[in-house]
Amino acid sequence: MTEKKQTYGASKIKVLEGLEAVRLRPAMFIGSTGKSGLHHLVYEVVDNAVDEALAGYCNLIEVSINKDGSVTVKDNGRGIPVDPHPVYKIPAVEVVVTKLHAGGKFDKGSYAISGGLHGVGISVVSALSKLMKVIVKRDGKIYQQEYKIGKPLYKLKVVGSTDKKDTGTEVTFYPDDNIFSNVKFDFSLLETRLREIAFLNKNVKIKLADEESNKREVFLYEGGIIEFVKWVNKTKDALHKPIYYTKQENGVIVECAVQYSAGYQENILGFVNTINTVEGGTHIIGFKTALTRAINDYANKNKLLKNGNLTGDDVREGLTAILSLKVPEPQFEGQTKTKLGNSEVKGIVDRITMISLSEFFEENPTIARRIVNKALEAEKARSAAKKAKDLVRRKNAFSIGGLPGKLADCSRKKSEETELYLVEGDSAGGSAKQARNKEFQAILPLKGKILNVEKASPAKVFSNEEIVNLITAIGTGVGDQFSLDKLRYSKIIIMTDADVDGAHIRTLLLTFFYRFMEPLINNGNLYIAVSPLYKVRKRKDHYVYSDKELKKVIEKLGSNVNVQRFKGLGEMNADQLWDTTMNPGTRLLNKVLIEDAVKADETFSKLMGTDVEPRKKFIAEKAHEAEVDV
């Protein structure tokens, strides 16, 4: 850390009011009141510490899950200002914690770069916590104040003294169980996000501890995103060392690491001020455009192309890229900050990427040719896939409206009122067709286990009849051709048997949707139906969804009960299937969401990819958690 003048004081805190709305509609501010929303509280506090790191004042962040259910986030930054606010006449720290849109992020002189731009972070955490304690070390003193659901319990007080060089902020909060459905923090979820932050902020040490389980992790990456791209590709067969470049233009710092693997999947992870922009934005568009142009320029110059220029899809097959930007005034779409909107950033990333990649290709011809050859192979596969798609399209043209012959469609035409059930096999398909409400529920039976798209080339994927039927029925297209406007159903529901085979089919389908229709997941259209494992009869029928629940039900009803184990959906009568799994009034549906794009990519590569060792290791580690299906 460099010595910098401490001009960060109360006058730098700008305010835009109101905390009541946070408790009234928490999901507007943190996404949900479930698991992801709970952990979002931690990220909001950590983001403040990261902003201090970005400003050059902090190199240590410590996060602790405490035995009493609280979380503590501690940093060695400058400490939140404690002098009286010029407008509110109360300590600046109290303003930051109790006023909704308050913070140094609104004052350009305090933070040139910031992730928590909206300034709602710590105040939202305070509003949704039954108790929060803030300790600030500044100017040789230790200050403390506590808050209950956003209101101070006492005035800011001095509780001790310390060395003047010893500065920082410590926040401990207890999430309100009246707001959150579950207040237990998940170590692995925090571990993933904190590792990500450490990759993006090289030389910042981040410690994570769970005092209950005594788990400990320390993240410190001197190589930054070069190490990040290698870590993402650790389960893949990399074709070359990572390509790395960083440049600055008009105050925007662009940092990028690129590495191709022998696989078929594209994985571009974009970050702006350490915020994961899962929905992309102008920076991703600029990167993709420049990458395609740079590879085509090199290939043309060296006479490597025979059939005209390569497409974006061709050059991105097998690509893993980490694109990390520092933008002084980012325009994020929504408080969840998942898409960058700054129009000027597209040109900046485009120019920097084009110059940097062109230079690298000239200096490293062996790697450049390897990348071009990979894209040429992809081009061949794409033309084979196109022929396969055209063949199936012509075949489908003979069925009604070009839709798959096996699809039992619904009568309603408005997509926002309809559902498509994906069902394994003709037996379950028959039961589902009898059980459904024909007005708004469509059924598509799938034959056995669909193709594992993680291992297959695009040509093989698009010549697979079951997958083509799936794409045709949904209507959106895939990849660059994907369009939500063409979605034929508002809910796509995976409905498989509650056994090992059913779980495998569900995983294969999830792999397909993640790799080829990710926007469908991001838009909240993909669901998993929860089907019962048992029917327990005593005077009336009780449907049970797990072995744990079965024990509880039997204990409650007495041991004189009749227990029937469902082997599959096809075994159920139509009325049973409707009551348990398809009736919107009584069914259980799990919405599929991507909590962390990096973790999702790693998991699919590990479980469904070609490398056996990581899969064996994962199974060995997780075996004790599995329930054996006999």
DSSP, collapsed to helix, strand or coil, labels residue 281 as: strand
Catalytic residue among 75, 196, 497, 602: 497
Quote the tokens at residue 328: 């002084």
Q: CA-to-CA distance for 174 and 268, rounded, in angstroms?
A: 36
Q: CA-to-CA distance for 96 and 511, rounded, in angstroms?
A: 43
End-to-end alpha carbon distance in the chain:
59
Active site includes 501? yes
Q: Could you count the other beta carbons within 10 Å of the beta carbon of residue 213?
A: 9
Catalytic residue among 83, 146, 227, 499: 499
Q: CA-to-CA distance for 368 and 239, rounded, in angstroms?
A: 11
Q: CA-to-CA distance for 105 and 154, rounded, in angstroms?
A: 26
DSSP, collapsed to helix, strand or coil, labels residue 521 as: helix
- Per the rule left: phi > 0, alpha: psi between -120 and 50, beta: everything else, 303 is left
Helix (H) / strand (E) containing 422 = strand 419-424
Q: CA-to-CA distance for 541 and 532, rounded, in angstroms?
A: 12
Catalytic residue among 297, 501, 571, 596: 501
Tokens 């401990």 -> residue: 172
Contact, 194 vs 208, CB < 8 A?
yes
Contact, 415 vs 423, CB < 8 A?
no
DSSP, collapsed to helix, strand or coil, labels residue 123 as: helix
Active site includes 139? no
Q: CA-to-CA distance for 493 and 513, rounded, in angstroms?
A: 12
Contact, 453 vs 516, CB < 8 A?
yes
Sheet hosting strand 562-565, strand order edge to edge: 540-544, 534-538, 562-565
Contact, 407 vs 443, CB < 8 A?
yes
Find residue 218's DSSP bridge partners: 207
Q: CA-to-CA distance for 309 and 109, rounded, in angstroms?
A: 47
SS3 content of the chain, % helix, strand, coil (to 5): 40, 20, 35
Q: CA-to-CA distance for 197 and 220, rounded, in angstroms?
A: 10
**Buried-state track 548-564, b at ≥16 Cβ within 10 A, e below 16:** ebbeebbeeeeeeeeee
Contact, 45 vs 171, CB < 8 A?
yes
To the nearest 10 degrees (0 to 180), the angle between helices 465-474 and 365-396 is: 80
Catalytic residue among 176, 314, 424, 466: 424
Q: CA-to-CA distance for 133 and 147, rounded, in angstroms?
A: 6
Quote the tokens at residue 160: 């001790």
Tokens 């039961």 -> residue: 431
Q: CA-to-CA distance for 419 and 178, rounded, in angstroms?
A: 33
DSSP, collapsed to helix, strand or coil, labels residue 112 as: coil
* Alpha carbon distances (Å) from 219 to 60, 196, 226, 322, 603: 10, 9, 15, 18, 20
Contact, 93 vs 10, CB < 8 A?
no
Tokens 């309809």 -> residue: 418
Q: CA-to-CA distance for 216 and 208, rounded, in angstroms?
A: 6
Nearest to 325 by CA among 362, 271, 395: 271
Active site includes 424? yes
Hey, what's the torsion of the CAs at 31, 33, 35, 41, to 10 degrees?
70
Residues with catalytic roles: 424, 497, 499, 501
